[in-house]
Amino acid sequence: MPWFVYIARCRDGSLYTGVTTDVLRRIGAHNTGRGAAYTRSRRPVALAHVEPAAGRSAALRREREIKGMGRGEKMAMVERGRTRGTGTTRGTGRNATAEFAGFGPGALRFLRGLARNNEREWFEGHRPAYEAEVRGPMRVLVEEMDVRLARMAPEMMGDPARSIFRIHRDVRFSHDKSPYKTHAAAQFYHRDAGRGAGVDAVGAGASFYFHLDPAESFVAGGIWMPARPALDAIREAIDADPDGFEAIVTAPAFRRRFGGLEDEAVLRRMPRGYRDDHPAARWLRYRSFIGYRSLTRDEVTSPRLPATLERNFAALLPLVRWLNAAVGYQPEERR
């Protein structure tokens, strides 16, 4: 049985080092109060670093060595592992995070419960379930997809600290004051672009997106409701290369998988500056440029979800790269 040495980052910023044969399960134990006494009052914890060991004795020796390091040395080690984009499969010789084991039934059960009890008291009472069933596996999934993207589209990346959307809603300008989102989601973005989506996300580029929801989970790619500067740049690029854009979004493989470009936000009239008989009139009226596919419950709860997302990301990549080039973000050959 393989052994691992891991570092967990606690809620107060401190670092805890331990050994285990199952990293994901051990992090879950910490977050449900069944881990070490040290982490019990410092929950939630998040996985920061994992490395394999030749056996239990070797793992314990390495644990003592790391515990003897200063905080600066530990943080430097964590950062080196993060920036190298290291692998994620259990039992290899690479500096690895926990293997993605799938979102269990507890993840969807928690989100359904949150939909029925969208209030702070309920959430805090069930926070350990959120950390162990939703946020923990999502972090591992993001790290796994980052490794796959490094091979497939090196300019695109996932970072557990930046890719995962906050579960707290911004209710400042909303009539609905429910404090929490009832889904979980992650975005995989161009390394030079801003993150987020929508008209307020100035500087954001085209990205990949995963959405976990008891009602409907899905995978998507493109740019949703871009800010005005990006929208203008995309329309200018369509104007300059209408055939190139149309070839991507009407390709038979793209249409079979995603049903074509999503038409949730299309102008009735042509945007200002473009004539009605423009050869790309159909596409110039779009305000959002997204390919989208629903995922089944079996797909999102399977340990093979990363492979499913990779196939869909690969099919979306021509659209994502075309849009990113239009707004000024170029593809890369390597990281």
Instruction: Indicate the residue type of 253.
Output: A
Question: Does the pLDDT at position 158 exceed 70?
Answer: yes
Which residues are CB-neighbours of 146 under 8 A, at least 6 positions away? Answer: 85, 157, 158, 159, 188
Confidence tier at 81 by pLDDT (50, 70, 90): low
Token reading at 43: 């929950």
Q: In Å, what is the CA distance from 332 to each residue of 145, 152, 154, 155, 198?
A: 17, 10, 6, 5, 25
* pLDDT in the model for residue 92: 33
Question: Does the pLDDT at position 127 exceed 60?
Answer: yes
Mean pLDDT for 83-106 is: 54
Higher pLDDT, 302 or 93: 302
Question: Does the pLDDT at position 82 exceed 60?
Answer: no
Token reading at 155: 């300019």
Confidence tier at 188 by pLDDT (50, 70, 90): very high
* pLDDT in the model for residue 18: 93
Question: Does the pLDDT at position 310 exceed 50?
Answer: yes
End-to-end CA distance of the chain: 33
Q: Please give the CATH architecture assigned to the domain spanning 128-327.
A: 2-Layer Sandwich (3.30)
Question: Does the pLDDT at position 88 exceed 60?
Answer: no
Give the rounded percent of residues in the chain with a pLDDT score beyond 70: 94
What backbone torsions phi and psi does residue 273 show, to the nearest 5 degrees? 100, -5
Cβ 208 vs Cβ 155: under 8 Å: no
* pLDDT in the model for residue 324: 97
Range among 8-17, 88-97, 120-129, 214-223 rated most confident: 214-223
Mean pLDDT for 163-187 is: 92
Among residues 56, 29, 54, the alpha carbon closest in space to that of 43 is found at 29
Instruction: Indicate the residue type of 280.
Output: A
Mean pLDDT for 115-135 is: 90
Cβ 281 vs Cβ 169: under 8 Å: no
Helical H runs in the chain?
23-31, 37-40, 56-67, 71-83, 105-116, 120-125, 127-129, 136-152, 228-240, 242-249, 252-258, 281-284, 297-300, 305-327
d(CA 320, CA 221): 7
Q: What's the pLDDT tens digit per position in 27-71?
A: 888 988 888 989 999 888 888 888 888 888 888 999 999 999 988
* pLDDT in the model for residue 87: 35
Asked if the domains 3-83 and 128-327 are classified in one and the same CATH topology, the answer is no
- Angle of helix 242-249 versus helix 305-327 axis, rounded to 10: 170
Instruction: Compute CA 246 distance to the chain's CA centroid, rounded to the nearest angstrom.
Output: 28
d(CA 254, CA 248): 7
Give the mean pLDDT of the chain.
89
At the fourth CATH level, the homologous superfamily of domain 3-83 is: GIY-YIG endonuclease (3.40.1440.10)
Cβ 105 vs Cβ 301: under 8 Å: yes
Mean pLDDT for 256-274 is: 95
Q: Where are the domains of the chain?
A: 3-83, 128-327
Give the 3-state secondary structure of residue 157.
strand
